Amino acid sequence: MIEIRPIQTHEIEEARHVIFTVAYDVFKEAGSLEESIALYSAKGVLSDMDDVQKNYFENGGIFLLTVLDGRIIGTGAIRSLEEDVCELKRMWLLPEFHGKGLGYRMMQELFKHAREMGYKAMRLQTDRVIQTRAVAFYTRLGFYEIPAYEGDDPEDMAMETIL
Per-residue pLDDT of the chain (163 residues; tens, 9 = 90+): 999 999 999 999 999 999 988 888 877 777 787 887 777 777 777 789 999 999 999 999 999 999 999 999 999 999 999 999 999 999 999 999 999 999 999 999 999 999 999 999 999 999 888 888 999 999 999 999 999 888 777 778 999 999 9
| Encoded amino acid at 105, one letter | R
C-alpha span between 57 and 134 (Å, rounded): 25
**Given strand 85-93, what is the order of strands in its sheet?**
2-6, 62-68, 71-82, 85-93, 121-127, 156-162, 144-146
| Chain CA centroid to CA 98, Å | 15
- The pTM is what? 0.92
- Superfamily covering domain 2-162: Gcn5-related N-acetyltransferase (GNAT) (3.40.630.30)
DSSP code of 97? G
* Pair 67, 118: CB distance under 8 Å: no
